[in-house]
Amino acid sequence: MINFELEKLKHTAGNNFFLMAGPCAIESEEMALRIAERIVNITDKLEIPYIFKGSYRKANRSKGSSFTGIGDEKALKILEKVGKTFDVPTVTDIHESAEAAMAAAYVDVLQIPAFLCRQTDLLIAAAKTNKVVNVKKGQFLSAGSMKFAVEKIVESGNNRVILTDRGNTFGYQDLIVDYRGLPEMQTFGVPVVMDCTHSLQQPNQSSGVTGGKPELIATIAKAAIAVGADGLFIETHPDPACAKSDGANMLHLDRLEELLTQLVRLRKAVI
């Protein structure tokens, strides 16, 4: 695993944004390595600090029959192999306090899902691993209220915190991004990330499968860079239509390099 310095990810003039990217869920070792290799080649070329993302298990599903994972230990070992193979940090979600120590043995960053961002025991358990903790902002919370999540982690002895915006609930089946929240959360002294794919979800569909608007991923990403986001979160897959989770709002892997190239140019123009 990589012991990377979180301070290097904070927004400073002359530095590039960092990227958390990968498939929604770990589907297989071959798929994870294939996606990671492609992204590493792109981010190395563009000098973008990179963290590989993959969920070892999906706990928040609309239907009980939806794909949840290939097995916890199997998926976590794949994440560990990705990190070692490509010498990059890795991030995965945890859902209950008992999962924190287990996942921390395999990955570098523990991610708290948006719906769980107020769960005190979960935040404290993640903090006590001394791993970097990435907290997704709840769709139901203001940016300002995320200071309490940061405080819970810091007061537990861990100041290695990232906050990620993923949109705000707008009616029952849509989300909207309030870009004022990014600089507001940066005032808490932590790196702030824009989740460019989950912020385009269309939840609570009658089919029981979450929809999305992936054609607007570039719009969300460009706006985030323009307002000074420290990092971007993008779920990507070589065949989103066949992905086992969140395919409706993932970026096709073939489109990632062009988008990141544009974003690097934009970052240089606005810093």
52-75: per-residue pLDDT in tens?
A: 999 999 876 556 656 777 999 999
Residues 243, 244, 247, 252, Cα dihedral to 10°: -20
Which comes out higher in pLDDT, residue 257 or 245?
Answer: 257
In this structure, are strands 251-252 and 231-237 parallel, antiparallel, or unpaired?
A: parallel
pTM of the model: 0.91
Question: CA 264 to CA 42: how far, in whole Å?
Answer: 12
At residue 12, the pLDDT reads 45
**CATH numbers and ranges of domains, the chain:** 17-270 (3.20.20.70)
Question: CA 62 to CA 118: how far, in whole Å?
Answer: 21
Two tokens at 157?
């002895």
Average pLDDT, whole number, for the chain?
A: 90
At residue 105, the pLDDT reads 97
Angle, helices 147-154/120-128, rounded to nearest 10 degrees: 40
147-176: per-residue pLDDT in tens?
A: 999 999 999 999 999 999 999 998 888 899
Instruction: Work out the pLDDT band at 13, boundaries 50, 70, 90.
Output: very low
Hey, is 5 helix, strand or coil? coil
Which amino acid, one-letter code, is at 266? L
Residues with Cβ within 8 Å of residue 215, at least 6 apart in sequence: none
At residue 206, the pLDDT reads 46
